[in-house]
Amino acid sequence: MTGTEEEHRRARDGAGGDLASAPLAQLREAVSHATAAVRGDGSESSRSLRLERPKHAGQGDYATNAAMLLAPALRTRPPKIAELLARELHQELGELLERTEVAGPGFLNLFLSDAWYRRALRDLVAAGERFGAGQTTAPERILIEFVSANPTGPLVAHSGRHAAYGDSLVRILERYGHAVSSEYYFNDAGSQVELLGASVKARARGEEVPPGGYAGEYVAELAAVIPDAADGDVGELAQTAVELLLARIKQTLDRYGVHFDTFFLERTLHEGSPSPLEVVLARLEEAGALYRSEGALWMRTTAYGDDKDRVVVRTGGEPTYLASDLAYMVNKRDRGFERQLNPLGADHHAYVGELKAAAAALLGDPDAIEVPMIQFVHLVEGSQRAAMSKRKGAFVTLDELLDEIGVDATRFFMLRSSHDRTLDLDVELARRQSAENPVYYVQYAHARISSMLRRVSAGRLEEASAVRSDWGEGQLDPAERNLIKKLASFPDELAEAATRRAPHRIAAYALELAQEFTAFYRDCRVVGATPEPVESFRIALSAVSGRMIGTSLELLGVSAPESM
């Protein structure tokens, strides 16, 4: 299957390999060929064969560990094998490879010629917007459901991490080549919503909210806004309150730049006869996955890998959250999504086992659903931990956070560290020293490129950005080479971010790219550089850099200003 896809891809992009991931793909292919030649058979190269960027200067532009991997099979010392690889690579790459060097325990360090760099930039220009896009060899239809905060209050700061993570992942997965749809599961049924209605009514009457009810200031506001709340029916009050809160949540998300393809109402899983919920329970019943105990209906999730069985219908006849999720899971699959992503807060981690078991039972594969754990955000005020708990309504809303530090800084901070790590966000620092935020550094690099290119005439820019190879013969500056290498690594970074569901990789990349560009800007005159081919080369390099910084920021949902 992937074989024919691969062939198709080659046919489409020509013999030079996939343009969208060139030029590193070409280099990797050359190493792969050389490895096969040295091994003496035509077999596929080892998956762990790597082409990496050495950490230290003087160790080449790229290095491969291929010799060390081949050593056991060939029963030869790695340095010896590296020599053989070097010979093959020189033959394959010709003038593109300046020299090689065997080093350390058996690394083969590759020093690429300026011809290779010029060709790399030419490929980057030719790939244009497609660079790094559509790399996956196995496109999937993916539904990612995220935030899904209960409509019982405004979004809190922590939801901002979920929203930024999910939205960025949508963008990353789409660019990687998947068909992605985003969804907000809106829990508008059940006891929590009922309780909200009761809380609103109590507030309208000037009474204390019921035990376990919602005491936040927004409840009083709702009570004031809804007509006749003091005498209203609790169920109707709840619906009205939920609608108002949903509108507010949507408004916040909109401001945050997060857009959902669908808002899915839980209520619909309970409507109709038989309802989707009843259908899925009947199906599980038939499969012998349900049993009755202590007055409740249980699902035998332990038969599907969970560590304990779970209640699906309570003693009182009310379905649990899991029951709705079972029906929801089937609904998603019936809409054609073969993979479901469902990032959850770390406080829900105990729920993962149930979801995996449900996927095993209903979708035939526990991995049809993935549940990335989003760790908490601690808002810090200087050295004090700000109150993030929902207790007594004392929390920081996402809107308040956006008021404080802005959309771009919030999104960047939320995304720049790994989602499975707790995040300390110092609001005071972000507010007071916003000019030193990394996000501004990246944006500034983008604005600077835009400004610089505005000085170049349209014709000149077009000419420089056309695919050409007459960029001169002079020696490139190290900063130019480093910048090109950073640009060339984008497809790998995108692949990493997509397959690991890790948007923070893109944030790190954006920062590194901005740094490399700034170093280039410092060391190399662009506009007015002489001779003409050098200026042309540098204009093209700047234009590609600007586009890649813009693309990276777009994947994060952060704006890329033309001027600052």
Partner RNA sequence: GCCCCCGUAGCUCAGUCUGGAUAGAGCAUCGGACUUCUAAUCCGGUUGUCGCAGGUUCGAAUCCUGCCGGGGGCGCCA
Alpha-carbon separation of residue 198 from 175, 218, 226, 230, 352 (angstroms)? 46, 14, 13, 10, 31
Query: Are the beta carbons of 198 and 213 closer than 8 angstroms?
Result: yes
Query: Smallest gap, in angstroms, from Cβ of residue 403 to RNA?
Result: 17
State both tokens at 181. 């749809």
Q: With binding defined as CB under 7 A, does residue 5 bind RNA? A: no
Q: With binding defined as CB under 7 A, does residue 109 bind RNA? A: yes
Burial code (b: 16+ CB inside 10 Å, e: under 16) for 421-432 equals: eebebbbbebee
Query: Are the beta carbons of 166 and 345 closer than 8 angstroms?
Result: no
Q: With binding defined as CB under 7 A, does residue 406 bind RNA? A: no
Alpha-carbon separation of residue 504 from 169, 263, 378, 426, 445 (angstroms)? 10, 26, 18, 18, 19
Number of neighbouring beta carbons within 10 Å of residue 80: 13
- Choose between 119 and 504: whose C-beta lies nearer to RNA: 504
Scanning 174-182, 219-227, 269-277, 495-503 for contacts with RNA by CB under 7 A, the matching segment is: 495-503
Q: Letter for the amino acid at 563?
A: S
List the interface residues with RNA, window 324-363 (CB under 7 A).
346-351
List the interface residues with RNA, window 418-437 (CB under 7 A).
418, 420-426, 429, 433-436
List the interface residues with RNA, window 43-62 (CB under 7 A).
48, 50, 54-56, 58-60
List the interface residues with RNA, window 204-263 (CB under 7 A).
none
Q: With binding defined as CB under 7 A, does residue 90 bind RNA? A: no
Q: With binding defined as CB under 7 A, does residue 32 bind RNA? A: no
Please pick, from the candidates 35, 320, 340, 342, the single residue that binds RNA as defined by CB under 7 A: 320
Q: Is 59 helix (H, G, I), strand (E, B) or coil?
A: coil
Spatial CB neighbours of 79, under 8 Å, sequence gap ≥ 6: 67, 102, 106
Query: Smallest gap, in angstroms, from Cβ of residue 292 to RNA?
Result: 10
Please pick, from the candidates 35, 199, 252, 375, the single residue that binds RNA as defined by CB under 7 A: 375
Q: With binding defined as CB under 7 A, does residue 385 bind RNA? A: no
Q: With binding defined as CB under 7 A, does residue 311 bind RNA? A: yes
Q: Letter for the amino acid at 93?
A: L
Number of chain positions touching RNA (CB under 7 A): 90
- Pair type for strands 423-426 and 377-381: parallel
- Choose between 232 and 319: whose C-beta lies nearer to RNA: 319
Site string for RNA, 180-209 (x = CB under 7 A): -------x--xxx-----------------
Spatial CB neighbours of 459, under 8 Å, sequence gap ≥ 6: none
- Choose between 130 and 417: whose C-beta lies nearer to RNA: 417
CA–CA separation, 261 and 265 (whole Å): 13
CA–CA separation, 30 and 74 (whole Å): 20
Q: With binding defined as CB under 7 A, does residue 1 bind RNA? A: no
List the interface residues with RNA, window 523-552 (CB under 7 A).
524-527, 529
Residue where the block lists tokens 């012998």: 288
Please pick, from the candidates 447, 461, 488, 513, the single residue that binds RNA as defined by CB under 7 A: 447
